[in-house]
Chain A
Amino acid sequence: MRVGVITFPGSLDDRDAQRAVKLGGGEPVALWHGDHDLKNVDAIVLPGGFSYGDYLRAGAIAAHSPIMSEVITAANAGMPVLGICNGFQILVEAHLLPGGLVRNDHGDFVCRDQKLRVENVNTAWSNDFKEGEEIIIPLKNGEGGYIADQDTLDRLEGEGQVVFRYLEVNPNGSANDIAGISNARGNVVGLMPHPEHATEAGFGPDTRAAMRSGTDGLTFFTSAISSLMANA
């Protein structure tokens, strides 16, 4: 399965995401923001970073990149799309996911190994998890506070579109401790934590077993492969 990773000006974690795709059993394909070409990929990852230096609003300018018109068409046709951190911000600015992301309520950049609960295992990026599974994924953001109006929050909660929730600590003031959400169809998922940084023992978050041994993020990428296989 070919999984495209889009590089925008200011993307930082595109190579990490490509490596995570490979470790998850997929074939990573580098995509470029300025192209109108998805290179026949089966799924797309929008990686973390600071596209356009977070000018205007985080993700706002990248959401209007040439390649985003193809991404929006593919997403609406059901292709799995994952937005990580800045990628999540781009997805909300492109209106593929509801709500918005604002500066952390405490005003500081935060970087920590974050415990999350998997709330929905019926999305393209979470189907290899167990319902209610608790995972540890690195988080690093300055503008990660998820907000939406009350009707949208009620709808997300009611329809099971909250996919990941912060446990123990709400690191950025997100409404309802929301770490990640999906669209109604479940093919588009966005989250602030970075699953691509928890895919290889020795380079992941600390766990009780050993330092840097956490690989919970790998399941995001194997989930996408599983969902593509199921629909193949």
Chain B
Amino acid sequence: MPIIVVEVMPKAEILDPQGKAVAGALVRLDKSEFSAVRIGKRFELTVEGPITDELLAEAREIANDLLANTVIEDVIYVGEARPADDAQGA
């Protein structure tokens, strides 16, 4: 089944305590070359047929109305799975 991917990130100016905790763990693991971490969300919306413009428009609508709270988060991607996504598990 084809999937539409929606990615949401906390707004840059908003503190991300989860990311901060992970960044602290990286320092303890001696990986301090990664100076900051921010954690967002990825939604995979399965659709029955081919991905059409109408479905993408619908996905954008629910991304902004439900999946993200645009007061505190930004929707950064709505679309088909990208080539890099296919490398999962490789």
Contacts and interface: CB of A to CB of B under 8 A. Distances in A.
A60 B71 contact: no
Given A92-B71, A102-B72, A147-B72, A60 B17 contact: no
Contacts of B14: 102, 147
A22 interface: no
Interface of B: 10, 14-15, 17-18, 20-21, 66-67, 69, 71-72
Given A57-B69, A60-B69, A147-B14, 15 more contacts: A56-B67, A64-B66, A92-B71, A98-B71, A99-B71, A100-B69, A100-B71, A100-B72, A102-B10, A105-B17, A106-B17, A107-B20, A107-B21, A147-B72, A173-B15
Contacts of B15: 102, 105, 145, 173
Interface string A136-150: 000000000101110
A103 interface: yes
7 contacts: A57-B72, A99-B71, A107-B20, A147-B14, A147-B71, A148-B71, A149-B71
A98 B17 CA distance: 22
A161 to B, nearest CB: 16
Interface in A94-128: 98-100, 102-107
A93 interface: yes
Contacts of A56: 66-67
Contacts of A107: 17, 20-21
Contacts of B20: 107
A64 B67 CA distance: 12
Interface in A142-177: 145, 147-149, 173
B37 to A, nearest CB: 14
